Amino acid sequence: MSESTLFAQRLKQARTDKKMKQSELSEISGVSIATISAYESADGTKGKNPSLENARSLAKALGISLDWLCGMPDNISEKPATYSELFKFLVYISNSAYTQVYSADRSNEYGELLVGIIEFRDTNIYNFISKWEKIKRLYDQGDIDRELYSLWLEKQYKDYNYEIAKWHEIRDGDLPF
C-alpha cells in the first residue's frame, strides 16, 4: 500500500470516527474542503500528497498523532513519560470507545455499580479527570463547541507536560482521598 493511500485511509477514518464532515474539518484545520477531498481520494495513482503543514493541521484538528496519520504503526511501543502523554491517551480511549468520564465511583440509573473502573492514586491524574469530567459533559451536551473543548485539552496538555511521578515517590498525604 502506498503512503498516499494509507494517509487517505487514515484521514478518512479519523474524520468519520469523529463524525465530522469534510467542511467541519476544513473549518477547524484551515485546509480547504477540495484539498481534504483530494487527500481522501488518493489511491496510489491519483490524489494529492499533503504538505507537512497541512498534515500537521489535520492531525491537530482531529486530535490524532501526525505519526499515525502519516502511516507509522498505531501500536504503542513506549509507556507515557509525561502526564500530558498519559492524558492524551486517556482522551484517545474516550474518543475510540463508548466511555464516560467520572472522577469518582458511580452507579448507573438502576443502582448497578459500573464496571471497568480504573482507580488512579496520583493527585495529578485525579485532578485532571475531575476537571475533564466537567468540561467533557459540557461538550457532550453541546453547551461548548469542539474548538473550545480542544483548546481546553491543549492547555491541560501544556500544564501537565512533566514527568509522571513514580509510584514510590507519591506520599499518602498527596492522595486526594
pLDDT band at 77 (very low <50, low <70, confident <90, very high): very low
Query: pLDDT digits over 117-168, tens only?
Result: 677 778 888 899 889 989 999 998 999 998 999 999 999 999 998 888 876 5
Residue with cell 492522595: 175
Mark which of 39, 69, 99 sits at the end of a domain: 69
Q: Is position 33 within any domain?
A: yes
How many other C-beta atoms can be found within 10 angstroms of the C-beta atom of residue 62?
23
Q: Is position 89 within any domain?
A: yes
User: DSSP assignment of 4-44, as one string?
Assistant: HHHHHHHHHHHHHHTT--HHHHHHHH---HHHHHHHHT--S
pLDDT at position 89, please? 81
Q: Residues 26, 94: one domain? A: no
Q: Residues 42, 113: one domain? A: no
Q: Residues 34, 92: one domain? A: no
**What pTM did the predictor assign?**
0.46
Q: Residues 101, 170: one domain? A: yes
Q: Which residues pair with 107 in a beta bridge?
A: 113
Q: Is position 75 within any domain?
A: no
Domain assignment of residue 160, given as a range = 83-174
* Rounded Cα–Cα distance for residues 37 and 67 (Å): 21
- Mean pLDDT (whole number) for 91-118: 65
Q: Residues 110, 165: one domain? A: yes
Q: Is position 64 within any domain?
A: yes
